[in-house]
Amino acid sequence: MQFEEELARVLPLDIPHRHRLVEKAAQHLRLICSANEYMNLTRITNPHDAVIKHVYDSVAPWKHFLGVRRVLDAGTGAGFPGVPLAVILPETRFTLAESIQKKARFVDSVVESLELANVHVAADRAEARIAPESPEIITARAVAPLHRILELFAKALRRGSQLLLYKGPDVEAELHEAQHHKVVAEILCRYDLPDGMGSRTLVRIQSQERGARTAS
């Protein structure tokens, strides 16, 4: 499968380390396709859809992760968004948490194959990694409804972590619901996937105290 051509076609030109991303994301996707023969990692495997819905979607909001020292990817699955983000942000330390052991082992093998020195894979639930990792940012992509995520990471928010959540286009109802959890929730950016494959929203959630400091 020629993932490289599709990646070179659709990835934004302003992404840092773009050539490196094309090479390593193509390798990542090929590893997923091979593993998919015996493990249910993803239903999206054809080059066009996989490049856009996995890689492009993961890195499109990269500027909001720029300068962050420690990121926890909650429920990374096959390695998204953590692996592509780690490729283009080598100065940031990423912990990829995945509680399903066989998926965690797969992602660990990907990290080793791609030689990503800034990535650690934890075969554990993300909420159990808060204390040891002390992440500035906890990110998640299509992991759970917002109310569940807020329950899982309430303590992390109180400790000063922020949530950056990849969501679909219709997030207003979830943002309204977040008001009941004593947090500040806001839309950081919206972006369209190439070739009319949908739109996405990046939502930031932080404690009310931290949100007040940010606003001032």
pLDDT tens, N- to C-terminus, the chain (216 residues): 589 999 999 999 999 999 999 999 999 999 999 999 888 888 877 889 999 999 999 999 999 999 999 999 999 999 999 999 999 999 999 999 999 999 999 999 999 999 999 999 999 999 999 999 999 999 999 777 888 899 999 999 999 999 999 998 888 888 887 878 889 999 999 999 999 999 999 999 999 876 555 554
Residues forming beta bridges with residue 94, ordered by sequence position: 71, 119
pLDDT of residue 174: 82
The CATH code of the domain at 61-215 is 3.40.50.150
pLDDT of residue 212: 52
pLDDT of residue 216: 46
pLDDT of residue 44: 79
pLDDT of residue 91: 98
pTM for this prediction: 0.94
